Structure 1
Amino acid sequence: MTPTDLGPVPAEQPLTYPGRPVTEPSLLAGDELLPWDPAALTGRHPVIAVGSNACPAQLRHKLRQDGLPCLVPMAPAEVRGIAVGCSAHIGVHGYVAAAPYADPGAAPTLVITWLDAEQLASVDRTEFNYQRVLVPGTGFLYVSRHGVLAHPDTGRPHPGAHDQRALLTALLAASPRLRALLGPGPEHWVARARTEPEVREAGKRIFVEEGWVRPAGLVITGEPSTPRLSS
C-alpha cells in the first residue's frame, strides 16, 4: 500500500477521528501495510485499540514523533465484555476520543496492536488521559480516567466516537452551554479546543455538570495472552 492508502491522521485532521482502521491482519511497516507475519509477534505486547490506535496512519504518527520504528503487527479480533463509548473529556487535538466500558453482553471486533517495549512506552505517553490495564486472555487496554459520556436522551453510554462530526454536532445540540463555548459547529469546536487548554477543561466540566458522565466499570488485572483473530 502507498502512504495515502493509510488515510488521514486524526491528530492532524481532528474531524476524521478515529481514522481508518485495519480490516484484516496486517503488518504496519512505515508507510505500508504488509501481509500478516505471525513471527513478528515475538517479544511484543498485545494492546486493544478502541479508537485511533487502530488506525495505522495515527499509530505511525505517534511512533515517529519519538523516532521509533513503525513496525507493528495489527489485526481485528473479537473482544468479549467490552463496549466502546466516548471518553468524558476533550483531547489535546480537539476531538472527543473513544473509550471502553464494561458490557457483559458485548463482543465487538476491535483491532489488536502488538507493541514492543519502546513502542508501548511511546503510546503510553500519548494516552495520559487513560490508565493502561490488563484484560485477561486478550491484552492491555486503555481505560479513560474521566469516565464515559452518557447519551443525553437515554442515559446509556454514548456510542458516537466512530463519527466525530456527528458526535460533536449532537453534543452541541444537547447543551446550550457547550454551544456558547465551542459552537456553533464541529469545525469551530476542534479549532478552539485544540489551541486553548482552558476551553478543553471548561468543556469537560460542562460534561459533568450536564450529568452526562458515567464510570467505565473497568478495573482489570491479569496476564495477556494471544487473542483470537477475526477472519
Structure 2
Amino acid sequence: MALIDPSRTLASLGYDTVPALTPLSYPGRPVTAPALLRGDELLDLDVEHELPRWTADRTPVLAVGSNAAPAQVAYKLKKLGLPVAVPMVPLPTRGIGVGCSAHIGRNGYVAAAPYPDPRAARTLVVSWLDAAQLKAVDATELPNYRRAAVPGAPVPGLQMYVGEHGVLVDPGTGAPRAGGGDQAGLLSALMAASPELAALLGPAPRDWVRRAAASPAVREEGTRLLRAGGTIPSGPA
C-alpha cells in the first residue's frame, strides 16, 4: 500500500515503539485524537463524517493498556497477516479505574487491568475491530483476560478486556495499585516492596523483563509473589 503522506507514518509521528517487543515501554503511546490506523500510517479521522462508515459491522473495544497504542495493535494484526485498518478514538469515561493485573505477562511486563471505581474519570481509547481482527486480538489476551460488555457505555456495544487474575492492591494503602503508567517505575516499586520478587527478578527492571520473558516458571513464581500482596476483582464499572 502506497503511503499518502510520509509525515503520517507511525515512525515519523513517534508512535512506532511496540511494547510487546520493548517491554519497558509498556503500555506504549496511545492516540490522543481520532485517528485511522492504516498499515504503518496514522491518519486523521473525521468522527462525524468518516467514522460511521467503519462502525456498522465492527465491535468497539475500549483499551486500558497497550491496545490503545497503534504500534501494538498493528503488530498484533500483522503477525497474523491481517489488514491493518482500525479507527481509534479517545473516549471520556467514568467509573473505570486502571490498575495492575495480578500476573506477569509472557513479554515480561505487568500489564494494566480495569476495576470499578465510581470516582474515576479518564480518557481511554476505543478501537473498532472487524470480526477477524477481533478474533486475533482476543487470542493475544487469552487466557489472562476475557472480553466483557461495558455497562452504561456511551458507545453502543462497547466492550473491554477484564483481567482474570484480579488487580494488585498496594499493601501499604489497601488501594488498587495504579497501572498503565511508567513500567520501569512500577517494577522498581514492586521489587522494593518484596525482597522475594527482587531476588527472583531483580535487581533492575531490565533484569525483571528479561528473566520473566525467558521462563514460564519464573513468570509463574513471580505471579504467585505478586498476589501475596493482595488483589481485588477486575471488571468494568
Under a length normalisation based on structure 1, what TM-score does the superposition of the two structures give?
Answer: 0.91
Alignment partners' CA distance in 2, 1:160 and 1:83? 9
Consecutive unaligned residues in structure 1, runs of 5 or more:
221-231
1:160-206 C-alpha deviation (Å, 9 max, x unpaired):
43110000000010000000100001000000001100000001111
Partner of 1:59: 73
Among residues 212, 217, 222, which one is paired with 2:230 in the alignment?
A: 212
Give % identity. Answer: 56
Structure 1 position 152, deviation (Å): 3.0
Asked if the contact 1:161–1:167 (Cα under 8 Å) also holds between the matched residues in 2, the reply is: no
Matched AA of 2:139: R
Partner of 1:3: 10
Structure 1 position 208, deviation (Å): 2.0
Matched AA of 1:163: D
Matched AA of 1:120: L
1:59-100 C-alpha deviation (Å, 9 max, x unpaired):
000001111000000010012211101100000000000000
Ranges of 4+ aligned residues in structure 1 off by more than 6 Å: none
Aligned-partner SS, 1:90: coil
Aligned-partner SS, 1:201: helix
Matched AA of 2:9: T
Partner of 1:118: 132
Q: What is the number of residues matched between the two proteins?
A: 218
Partner of 1:226: none
Among residues 136, 139, 148, which one is paired with 1:133 in the alignment?
A: 148
Partner of 1:175: 194
Partner of 1:28: 37
Structure 1 position 7, deviation (Å): 2.7
Alignment partners' CA distance in 2, 1:160 and 1:84? 6
Alignment partners' CA distance in 1, 2:54 and 2:220? 41
Structure 1 position 215, deviation (Å): 1.6
Partner of 1:19: 28
* 2:89 counterpart of 1:75: yes
> Kindly tell me: are residues 219 and 112 of structure 1, through their superposed partners in 2, closer, same or farther at Cα, counting changes over 3 Å?
closer
Among residues 73, 92, 106, which one is paired with 2:120 in the alignment?
A: 106
Aligned-partner SS, 2:75: helix
Alignment partners' CA distance in 1, 2:10 and 2:61? 24
Aligned-partner SS, 2:126: strand
Alignment partners' CA distance in 1, 2:37 and 2:101? 27
Matched AA of 1:146: H
Partner of 2:180: 161
Under a length normalisation based on structure 2, what TM-score does the superposition of the two structures give?
Answer: 0.89
Alignment partners' CA distance in 1, 2:171 and 2:206? 22
Query: After alignment, is 129-138 or 44-53 more displaced?
Result: 129-138
Matched AA of 2:42: L
Matched AA of 2:26: Y
